[in-house]
Structure formats: structure tokens, C-alpha cells
Chains A and B, each alone.
Chain A
Amino acid sequence: MIANYGYKDGSGDYFIAIDTDKCDGCKDCVSACPYGVLDVGPDQNDPLSDNEVAFVTEAERKKIKYTCAPCKPMTNRPPLPCIASCKQKAISHSW
């Protein structure tokens, strides 16, 4: 499942997509994110599965444009810590 967390408002699209088929629940992204945007737990959108997967925390879903901003400078943008930490390449950002 591709889980798109985030929102679209007047200023643009802000979505973090997590491919739960690739995600193995290793929690590398949880410790890599400096702002606690990601967490790992039971798949909320697949209640019949017992696998643990990464998701964007409820508290951050509506403000990732701002929370993620420090990792996204306008120039010389380094690789995002969450994406770089994911060995399964399960995370992507829309902006």
C-alpha cells in the first residue's frame, strides 16, 4: 500500500508517501528524523494485517510543510535524513 500522509492547501501539495509493502518496520527513519515526524506501529489502514509499518504521526500530518522545512533548504539541499536512512527505499516526499 502507498500511504500518502499530508495535505494539499492553497500553497501547494505536501505529502510524505510510505510504501508499506517495502517497509519492514525497522524504525531507522524514526531515529533519523530530527523532528519526530515518523513512527512505526500496526498498519492503521490494514486492520487485518499484523505487520508493523512506518507512518507519519497524527500530530504532524497537518503541518509537515513547516516541520520538514528545516531539512529542505532552498539551496544545497542535502539528502533528506528520512529518505537516506530507509534501506528499503520506501519513503518519498512530494515537494
Chain B
Amino acid sequence: MVEQQRTELWRWTESRWMNPDLDWRGKLITSGIDVGSVSSQAVILTDGELYAYSNMRTGVDSPDSAMKAINWAMENTGLTLKDLAYTVGTGYGRVNVPFSQRAITEIACHARGGNFMYGPTVRTILDMGGQDCKAIHCDEKGKVTNFLMNDKCAAGTGRGMEVFADLLGVSINDVGDLSLQVDKEPPPVSSTCVVYAKTEATGLLREGWPKNKVLAAYCSAMAHRIMTLLERIGVEEDFAITGGIAKNKGVVTRLEKEVGIPIMKTKYDTQIAGAIGAALFAKALLEKTKK
């Protein structure tokens, strides 16, 4: 019999959180579902306060991923779909959320969610998602004032990082830390394209470069690539990063150095920004229709 081995190094940790001190009964419950290209999040707010969220991988089927995310967020809370007063869908699969009343672009939701997570002082939000990258300027209320999105090319996105984790046999959660364990910063890989960068990295490994050095070269290429995108709209303080790559210290530290502005910290999971924004819009839209 052929023995098969299957390791999934790109697999990041899915998570779920619930606020045990809050009771949803008798309150206004709104939810936001962010069905992204790589991950899906569901956020539940009670009277505008964060009550529960889930963060998991998107499957091939968007409606199914949305259902799974919301069901996981509602687990053990006693909530059912009927209790959600208003649901807003966002992200790539936003029109495929079966129980939502409205779909809103991820640009608007990230600005709003970023404002909630980082406070009203945040002016630039960089969302480094699974398959795209968005640079957003917003005002103190979380309203978008300038934005730029690149979703044509996967360079500098989570998907690119997954490919590299797989190539180098390193768990995606360890990529950032490993890439920082170099004495001297190696020159970045010259290509921004994931496919070409992978080819180049394979060459470097054959030359005898250790894994951490290759990762450092890729992380710094990614930071540089994002920087050129950011330069188009500029960076205003305060500056925050959302999305999965915000958890990768290798990219964040290098980007912080290039931008020259400290990156804000948050107690929330950086991947839920879009879903929080969607849930906040759900509340705002509900209040608007009641008026």
C-alpha cells in the first residue's frame, strides 16, 4: 500500500471569541459577515458592543462559508439567525451571504471597523488580505476619504505568504519570527510576483541560503511592494494594519521601518476589521430606516 503524507503548513489558526460578561437578550443585535478570498469572519454586536466573533477559512462555497462562520460565532450563545436584527455582508463573497439584508464594499467596512478597533485617531488603514491589498484614508468617524485597492495581483498578500510557507516547509504562524532571525538583512527577492519570487527563492535555497534568510528576503520584498502602493495615497498618522498579514511580524516590522511611522496595536484580532465594520453599518442602517 502506498503511504501518503499530507502536511498543511499554510494552515493558520482559526479562532472564535465570545464576551462572557454580555447578555444579548433584550438588546439590538446586528451582525457583519466578511466572506474573503481566504478567510471568513462573522461578528455579532449587541447595542454596538462586540459580543462574539469567529474567524475561519473560506471554503469553495461562499454561502456555505458564511453560514459556517455565523453558526460558529453563535455557538453556545443561544442565539439563532432569527435573533439577528440586521446583517451586512462584505468581502469578495458579499453578495453570496444568504441571510444578509445588504452588501457593502470591504473598503467602507474596513475603514469603519478600523475606526472601532484602533480608535478615532487612526487615519490610514492598510488592509493586507488574502488576495488583495487596500490602502484607506479615513476621518475621525471612520468615513473613507481616499482609497486604493489592488486585487489584480497577489504579490504582497496572504496567499503569497502561504505559498512561501509551503515552499520552505515552515508553518505560516512561524514565518514572521523566523524571518527576523537573521544577523544581516539580505537583499529582497527582486520580483514582486509570487510565481517569480518562488522561482527565485528555490534558486536561493539551492545556493545554500538558510530558510530564515530566504524568508527575510521575501518579507522585505513584500514590505517594499506594499510601500510603493502606500506611497500613491500617502501615509497619515495614525497608521494601522488589518488583515492576516498584520500578524506576520516579519512583514510588519520591515514595513514600519520603511514607512517611518509606528504601527498601532490592538487587542482585537486584526482579521475581523471588515466584519466589525459590516456589523456597525448594519446598526447604522437599521437606525437610519427607523428614523
Task: Give the B-binding residues of A (Cβ under 8 A).
Answer: 1-4, 7-10, 13, 15, 44-48, 62, 94
Contacts of B143 in A (CB 8 A): 1, 46
Contacts of B148 in A (CB 8 A): 4, 15
Task: Give the A-binding residues of B (Cβ under 8 A).
Answer: 102, 104-105, 107-108, 143-153, 192-193, 228-229, 232-233, 281, 284-285, 288
Interchain CA distance A21-B89 in the complex, whole Å: 26
Q: Which of A8, A44, A46, A94 has the most chain B CB within a 10 Å cutoff?
A: A8
Q: Are B147 and A44 neighbours in the complex by a CB distance under 8 Å? A: no
**A2 contacts which of B147, B149, B150, B151 (Cβ < 8 Å)?**
B147
B190 to chain A, nearest CB (A): 11
The residue in chain B whose Cβ has the minimal distance to the Cβ of A48 is: B284
Q: Are A7 and B108 neighbours in the complex by a CB distance under 8 Å? A: no
Q: Are A4 and B147 neighbours in the complex by a CB distance under 8 Å? A: yes
* Interface of B, helix, strand, loop or mixed by DSSP: mixed
Q: Are A7 and B107 neighbours in the complex by a CB distance under 8 Å? A: no
Known: A44-B108, A62-B151. A4 touches B193 (CB 8 A): no
Q: Are A45 and B107 neighbours in the complex by a CB distance under 8 Å? A: yes
**B108 contacts which of A2, A9, A15, A47 (Cβ < 8 Å)?**
A47
Known: A10-B193, A48-B284. A2 touches B153 (CB 8 A): no
Can you identify 12 A-B contacts, CB atoms within 8 angstroms? A1-B143, A1-B145, A1-B146, A2-B146, A7-B151, A8-B153, A9-B153, A15-B232, A44-B107, A46-B144, A47-B104, A47-B285
A43 to chain B, nearest CB (A): 9
Interchain CA distance A15-B143 in the complex, whole Å: 21
Interchain CA distance A10-B284 in the complex, whole Å: 40
Q: Are B153 and A47 neighbours in the complex by a CB distance under 8 Å? A: no
**A45 contacts which of B108, B229, B285 (Cβ < 8 Å)?**
B108
Interchain CA distance A4-B230 in the complex, whole Å: 12
The residue in chain B whose Cβ has the minimal distance to the Cβ of A14 is: B152
The residue in chain B whose Cβ has the minimal distance to the Cβ of A4 is: B148
Contacts of A4 in B (CB 8 A): 146-149, 232-233
Known: A9-B153, A13-B232, A48-B288. A3 touches B147 (CB 8 A): yes
Q: Are B152 and A44 neighbours in the complex by a CB distance under 8 Å? A: no
The residue in chain A whose Cβ has the minimal distance to the Cβ of B137 is: A2
**A10 contacts which of B108, B192, B232 (Cβ < 8 Å)?**
B192
Contacts of A9 in B (CB 8 A): 152-153
Contacts of B147 in A (CB 8 A): 1-4, 45
Interchain CA distance A15-B149 in the complex, whole Å: 10
Interchain CA distance A13-B230 in the complex, whole Å: 12
The residue in chain B whose Cβ has the minimal distance to the Cβ of A20 is: B144
Q: Are B105 and A44 neighbours in the complex by a CB distance under 8 Å? A: yes
Interchain CA distance A67-B146 in the complex, whole Å: 24
Known: A44-B108, A47-B104. A7 touches B145 (CB 8 A): no
**B145 contacts which of A2, A10, A48, A94 (Cβ < 8 Å)?**
A2
Interchain CA distance A27-B212 in the complex, whole Å: 54
The residue in chain B whose Cβ has the minimal distance to the Cβ of A62 is: B152
Interchain CA distance A75-B143 in the complex, whole Å: 41
The residue in chain A whose Cβ has the minimal distance to the Cβ of B111 is: A45
The residue in chain A whose Cβ has the minimal distance to the Cβ of B281 is: A47
Q: Are B108 and A46 neighbours in the complex by a CB distance under 8 Å? A: yes
B143 to chain A, nearest CB (A): 7
Q: Are B281 and A8 neighbours in the complex by a CB distance under 8 Å? A: no
Interchain CA distance A9-B228 in the complex, whole Å: 11
Interchain CA distance A2-B145 in the complex, whole Å: 6
Q: Are B144 and A10 neighbours in the complex by a CB distance under 8 Å? A: no
Knowing that A8-B229, A45-B105 are A-B contacts, what are 9 other residue pairs whose CB atoms are under 8 Å apart, sorted by A's residue number? A2-B233, A3-B147, A8-B152, A10-B192, A44-B105, A46-B108, A47-B102, A48-B285, A62-B151
